[in-house]
């Protein structure tokens, strides 16, 4: 298994070299930056978190996106929720989307969790639902642990984790590449559309669903000043030794949790989701068939229906 991973990594490196040569011969078209009606949460004098708010319902939902994406990863499901019943808060994590991207060397999962926890305290809801995908799932787990230490109230009523980064394993190849000197900076010279197609090919199981709209969405993630710094620094700070310390707290999480996982996730193994469902006292897992790493984009209606059933119980 390890040998095949090394071969795959070598192939990817070769592709990057070839693609860089091609891109140097052609003009790169800048990615389109999304514009939204959004608000800002001031975490500190140097950090402002961009978020989109949808609906006006009593039930609050906070969404945390995965590595290298933005709040637009939820575009396919956000409008499915009743605006009278729910209020959705879609966050751009620090360093991503339209949030601040300071060169402060603070891009660990714990730092992101501190920010999400601070945002939840700002909302000051009686209780809310916290949803996280991939890297953002790891952030959501740690944010829930932080908030649970405050015994003044129950902050998070339910957790939904989608193909969540819960345990350390061989890093996904696109994160691994960002930790390799020279190659990491070289990758940002590639056309945004090429990077988008490359990532989509990795995270989607059903490749026929990859269209121009999705490519444009993913290309938009690479737009903005300091993006190379934030991507590379975040990848470098996913530290296996430090992460093992965070894992110990999973057994203490009493929040009701639904874990959703694509059965053909090539980025984070399904075995991780099964393990997490056994270690968390009030968690259960539902496996999404014929689906990759981003079920909320590949099968949005399935994910919406599973989430709704869980949240209404």
The verdict on residue 51 lying in a domain is: yes
Q: Which residues contact 202 (CB under 8 A, 6 or more apart)?
A: 172, 173, 174, 266, 267, 293
Tokens of 85: 């019943």
List the CATH number of the domain containing 121: 3.40.50.1820
Tokens of 174: 């696109």
Q: How far apart are CA 302 and CA 250, in angstroms?
A: 27
Pair 311, 129: CB distance under 8 Å: yes
The verdict on residue 2 lying in a domain is: no
Q: What is the mean pLDDT of the chain?
A: 87
Reported as a pLDDT band with limits 50, 70 and 90, residue 288 is: very high
Q: Torsion angle of alpha carbons 102, 119, 57, 99, nearest 10°?
A: 0
Q: How far apart are CA 211 and CA 209, in angstroms?
A: 6
Pair 311, 62: CB distance under 8 Å: no
Tokens of 7: 């071969």
Q: What is the mean pLDDT of residues 115-124?
A: 96
CB atoms near residue 175 (< 10 Å): 19
The verdict on residue 21 lying in a domain is: no
Q: Is 39 exposed, middle or buried (0-12, 13-18, 19+ CB in 10 A)?
A: exposed
The verdict on residue 297 lying in a domain is: yes
In terms of pLDDT, which residue wins out, 38 or 122?
Answer: 122
Q: Find the length of the chain.
A: 313
Q: Is 240 exposed, middle or buried (0-12, 13-18, 19+ CB in 10 A)?
A: exposed
Alpha carbon distances (Å) from 214 to 18, 30, 64, 300, 305: 24, 16, 19, 13, 22
Pair 116, 62: CB distance under 8 Å: yes
Tokens of 72: 């637009």
Q: To which residue do tokens 């949460």 refer?
A: 41
Q: What is the pTM of this model?
A: 0.89
> What pLDDT does residue 260 have?
98
> Which residues are paired to 42 by β-bridges?
48
The verdict on residue 3 lying in a domain is: no
Instruction: List the domain range (segments joined by +) for residue 260.
Output: 37-311
Number of structural domains the chain divides into:
1
- In this predicted model, what pLDDT tens digit does every residue of 73-98 receive, in sequence order? 999 999 999 999 999 999 999 999 99
The verdict on residue 45 lying in a domain is: yes
Pair 273, 285: CB distance under 8 Å: yes
Pair 270, 263: CB distance under 8 Å: yes
The verdict on residue 4 lying in a domain is: no
Ranges 52-56, 177-181, 256-260: which has the least confidence: 177-181
Residue 143 confidence (pLDDT) above 50:
yes
- In this predicted model, what pLDDT tens digit does every residue of 191-238 receive, in sequence order? 999 999 999 999 999 999 999 999 999 999 998 889 999 999 999 998
Measure the CA angle with vertex 81, ends 204 and 284; round to 5°.
60
> What pLDDT does residue 7 have?
41
The verdict on residue 12 lying in a domain is: no
């Amino acid at each position: 298994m390890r040998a095949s991973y090394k071969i795959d990594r070598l192939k990817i490196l070769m592709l990057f070299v070839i693609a860089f040569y091609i891109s140097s011969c052609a003009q790169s078209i800048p990615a389109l930056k999304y514009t939204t009606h959004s608000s800002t949460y001031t975490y500190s004098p140097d950090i402002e978190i961009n978020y989109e708010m949808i609906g006006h319902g009593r039930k609050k939902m906070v969404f945390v996106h995965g590595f290298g994406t933005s709040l637009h990863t939820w575009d396919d499901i956000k409008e499915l929720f009743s605006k009278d019943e729910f209020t959705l808060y879609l966050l751009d994590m620090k360093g991503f989307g339209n949030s601040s991207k300071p060169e402060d060397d603070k891009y660990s999962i714990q730092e992101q969790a501190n920010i999400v926890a601070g945002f939840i305290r700002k909302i000051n809801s009686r209780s809310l639902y916290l949803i996280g995908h991939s890297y953002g799932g790891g952030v959501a787990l740690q944010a829930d642990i932080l908030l649970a230490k405050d015994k003044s109230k129950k902050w998070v009523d339910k957790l939904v984790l989608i193909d969540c980064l819960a345990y350390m394993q061989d890093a996904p190849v696109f994160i691994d590449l960002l930790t390799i000197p020279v190659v990491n900076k070289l990758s940002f010279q590639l056309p945004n559309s090429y990077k988008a197609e490359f990532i989509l090919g990795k995270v989607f199981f059903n490749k026929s669903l990859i269209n121009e709209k999705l490519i444009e969405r993913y290309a938009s993630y690479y737009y903005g000043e300091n993006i190379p710094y934030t991507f590379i620094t975040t990848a470098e700070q996913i530290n296996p030794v430090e992460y093992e310390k965070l894992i110990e707290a999973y057994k203490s999480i009493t929040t009701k949790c639904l874990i959703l996982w694509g059965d053909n996730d090539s980025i984070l193994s399904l075995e991780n989701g099964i393990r997490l469902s056994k270690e968390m006292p009030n968690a259960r897992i539902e496996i999404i068939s014929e689906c990759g790493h981003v079920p909320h984009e590949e099968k949005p209606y399935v994910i919406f229906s599973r989430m709704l059933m869980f949240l209404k119980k």
